[in-house]
Amino acid sequence: MSNVQAVHAGWVIPVEPDGVVLERHTLVIDGTHIAAIVPTASWRNDLGATEIDCRRHVLVPGFVNAHTHAAMSLFRGMADDLPLMEWLERHIWPAEARVAGREFVRDGTRLAAAEMLTGGTTCFNDMYFFGDEAAAAAIEAGIRAVIGLIVIGFPSAWASDVDEYFRKAEAVHDQYRGHPLVTSAFAPHAPYTVDDAALTRVATLAEELDVPVHMHVHETVGEIEGALATHGARPLRRLEGLGLLSPRLLAVHMTAVDEDEYELLARTGVSVVHCPESNLKLASGFCPVARLLGAGVSVALGTDGAASNNRLDMLGELRSASLLAKGVSGDPCALPAAQALRMATLSGARALGLDHAIGSLEVGKLADLVAVDLSALGTQPIYDPLSQLVYASQRSQISDVWVGGRHLVRQGELTTLDSDELRASATAWRSRIAEA
């Protein structure tokens, strides 16, 4: 039996080269990789390929969710419309203290993986405790994951002190080294929860293990004011002093950027991860995306966790990013459709050091891809499939998703996870969490 799939698409948007839309093309998957992208009219089934009809669909690279806390999907909608500290101190942290163990992370990540996969996310960058459980859930689902090797200056069910966080970080890294779906990244929580000694150690180990560093940075103005009081420096400057500003760093949120910092971010090659919906919902401020891009900073996109969004929906997120960038910059030309799609795919892959393998539809890359059905009335008529994809389509129009050539969502249905089981599990966790 042939291990070749031929996806006949109405349109293919490869992301690289930039701005290209190929009409009526066939994307050929050979095993795990993209073997060809050719006009459908010129394609012949010489290899006994399985043919998949996506004539009403646009094919795009799988989305890279560059910042989430997957397991927190079990907290979705538990506490909304609250001030940040009340939300954290009275709801999220106490709930975590009660339930956030191995089983919670496994089940929560599984639910998140199901939501992300059906929404076209093929790779997620996670930050949470029990990274080994998150990795196991991702492998079970078949989704690509970058597991956060968390470091934080507080004890948790995962580790009791900084040394233990580092020991467990290295153990999780080693456990999944060479895995086809799982890589890892150091995940020091934030400048205000990790001290200089630990951050220096993160910088050194990230170099040695050759992994990214994933960190909340400048989420709010309050964080910066606190840092000025405590450290006499803005967090980004402190990280510079500790040797953390490099292409390895994913600086998540960055809602406050001063004049000098645009140049600093661009020069050091830091990737900013923009989480527009979470920033809005928590009233964290506005990331100046258009200015960052204009300054040459690479910007990726993330949903943040379901406790503060409350969706892990990258298609919705990239639309929100594009609309918000226009509103914040006052320029209706800011973050146009093609650039928003790139942010949600190739720029995320690049931030994670995975752009040699994923993030665009190119021959030789892994077959991580998504088919979006544009025949829905809400995306009619079709002047420009890119515009309909970014500004009008919704994740329910995503019919098929592949990760490394595996067909994980087929006509809207998950092939690796059981939705009824996930629903029952979520309901059981709700009872346990709400009644605790």
**Contact pick of 81, 208, 210, 259 for a second copy (by CB under 8 A):** 81
Alpha-carbon distance of 40 to 51, in angstroms, equals 11
**Contact pick of 78, 157, 295, 363 for a second copy (by CB under 8 A):** 78
Q: Are strands 398-403 and 4-12 parallel, antiparallel or unpaired?
A: unpaired
Q: DSSP H helical segments within 23-160, as ranges?
A: 84-86, 93-99, 102-118, 131-141
**Contact pick of 388, 400, 401, 403 for a second copy (by CB under 8 A):** 388
User: In the window 106-165, what residues touch a second copy (CB under 8 A)?
Assistant: 111, 114-115, 118-119
Nearest Cα neighbor of 68 from 127, 113, 129 is: 127
Task: Tell whether residue 191 is a contact of a second copy (CB under 8 A).
Answer: no
- Alpha carbon 175 to its chain centroid, in Å, reads 22
**Contact pick of 102, 291, 311, 406 for a second copy (by CB under 8 A):** 311
* Nearest to a second copy of 249, 338 (CB atom): 338
**Contact pick of 68, 184, 271, 329 for a second copy (by CB under 8 A):** 329
* Nearest to a second copy of 262, 286 (CB atom): 286
Q: Are 187 and 149 in contact (CB under 8 A)?
A: yes
Determine if the peptide bond prior to 310 is cis (ω within 30°). yes
Least CB distance from residue 1 to a second copy, whole Å? 32
Residues in Cβ contact with 369 at an 8 Å cutoff, skipping those fewer than 6 apart: 7, 27, 34, 59, 60, 61, 62, 122, 361, 401, 402
Residue 395's SS3 state is helix
**Contact pick of 193, 326, 362, 406 for a second copy (by CB under 8 A):** 326
What x/- string results for residues 287 through 306 when contact with a second copy is judged by CB under 8 A? -------------------x
* Nearest to a second copy of 194, 417 (CB atom): 417
Q: How many residues bind a second copy (CB under 8 A)?
A: 68
Q: 195: alpha, beta or left, given left = phi > 0 and alpha = psi -120 to 50? A: beta
The two tokens of residue 80 are 């909304």
Task: Tell whether residue 387 is a contact of a second copy (CB under 8 A).
Answer: yes
Q: Which residues bind a second copy (CB under 8 A)?
A: 73-74, 76-78, 80-84, 87, 111, 114-115, 118-119, 277, 279-283, 285-286, 306, 309-313, 316, 320, 323-324, 326-327, 329-334, 336-337, 375, 377-384, 387-388, 391-392, 394-396, 419, 422-423, 426-427, 429-430, 434
